[in-house]
A and B are shown apart, each in its own frame.
Chain A
Amino acid sequence: MDRFANLRDEINSLFEGPFWSNTMRTPQLFSGWTPPLDLYQTNDDVVAVVELPGMRKEDIEISLHDGMLTISGERKDETPEGDKTARTERFVGNFRRSISLPTRVDVNKVNATYKEGILTVTLPKAEEVKPKQIQLNVS
Chain B
Amino acid sequence: MDTMVRENRTENAVNGNGNNQQPQERFVAPMATVLENGDGYTLQVEMPGVNKEGLEMWVENNELTIIGRRSLPTVQGNLIHREMRRDNFRRAFELDPSIDAAKISAKIEHGVVTLTLPKAEQVKPRKITVS
Residues of A within 8 A of B (CB): 1-2, 5-6, 9, 36-43, 45, 47, 49, 51-55, 79-80, 82-91, 99, 102, 114-118, 120
Interface residue tally on B, bucketed by range? 35 or more
Which residues from A are CB-within-8-Å of B36? Answer: 83-86
Closest to A55 in B: B110
**B48 → A minimal CB distance (Å):** 4
What's the nearest-Cβ distance from chain B to residue A65, in Å?
18
- Give the number of A-B contacts (CB < 8 Å): 136
Q: Is B103 an interface residue (CB 8 A)?
A: no
Instruction: Let me know if A53 and B75 touch, CB within 8 A.
Output: no
Q: Report the separation of the CA atoms of residues A115 and B52 in the bound assembly, to the nearest whole angstrom.
A: 12
Give the nearest-CB partner of A47 in chain B: B75
Beta-carbon contact of A40 and B46 below 8 Å: no
Interchain CB contact under 8 A, A42 and B75: yes
Interface centre among A1, A9, A82 (most CB of B within 10 A): A1
Give the chain A neighbours of B46 by CB distance below 8 A: 53-54, 90, 117
What 3 A-B pairs have minimum CB-CB distances, sorted nearest first?
A: A117-B111, A42-B77, A53-B111
A-B contact pairs, 26 of them (CB 8 A): A1-B16, A2-B29, A5-B29, A36-B83, A36-B85, A37-B83, A38-B83, A39-B80, A39-B81, A39-B82, A40-B77, A41-B78, A42-B78, A49-B72, A51-B84, A52-B48, A52-B111, A87-B4, A89-B33, A116-B51, A117-B48, A117-B50, A117-B111, A117-B112, A118-B72, A118-B111
Main secondary structure, interface of B, reads mixed
Q: A79-B35, A118-B49 are in contact. Are A54 and B80 (CB under 8 A)?
A: no
Contacts of B111 in A (CB 8 A): 51-54, 116-118
Choose from B27, B37, B73 the contact partner of A118 (Cβ within 8 Å).
B73
Besides A2-B28, A53-B112, A54-B110, 5 other CB < 8 A contacts?
A: A40-B80, A49-B84, A54-B111, A79-B35, A116-B111
A87 touches B110 (CB 8 A): no
The answer on a CB contact under 8 Å between B29 and A54 is: no
Chain B contacts of A54 at CB under 8 A?
A: 44, 46, 109-112
Q: Which of B108-131 contact A (CB under 8 A)?
A: 109-112
Q: Given the complex of chains A and B, what is the CA–CA distance between A20 and B51 in angstroms? A: 36
Chain B residues with CB under 8 A of A86:
4-5, 34-36, 41
Shortest CB distance B94–A (Å): 12
Task: Please tell me if the beta carbons of B44 and A90 are within 8 angstroms of each other in the complex.
Answer: yes
B84 contact set on A, CB distance < 8 A: 36-38, 49, 51
